[in-house]
Amino acid sequence: NILNHWTSRVTGATYPSGWQIEINDSHVQTLLTLTPEVQNQELVVYQSTGNAYWEGAVTIHGQSAGTQVQGEGYVELTGYSR
């Protein structure tokens, strides 16, 4: 599930920003929330790749198999700018 959105003032692209991931396995139930450490992590690289994209660090909190978990992660989003 997407929890929020962020719109770039530079490109006008709107990116998903914050996610909730649920995994229901017969043995393990997991619910994780991923939150961007900074909203504006857009890279505008028109001269090299011809596009703009969002990539960056996220913090992860949640529960897996009844245990509180936390961590750090990385998300890359492409195809949102035109």
Best CA proximity match to 18, nearest among 38, 34, 30: 34
Helix, strand, coil percentages in the chain from 3-state DSSP, rounded to 5: 0, 60, 40
What pLDDT was estimated at residue 26? 87
pLDDT value of position 50:
75
Q: What residue has token string 């939150």?
A: 35
**pLDDT block averages, 10 residues each, the chain of length 82:** 96 96 93 97 84 96 96 96 79
pTM of the model: 0.86
pLDDT at position 37 is 97
CA-derived radius of gyration, the chain: 15
What pLDDT, on a 0 to 100 scale, did the predictor assign at position 1? 96
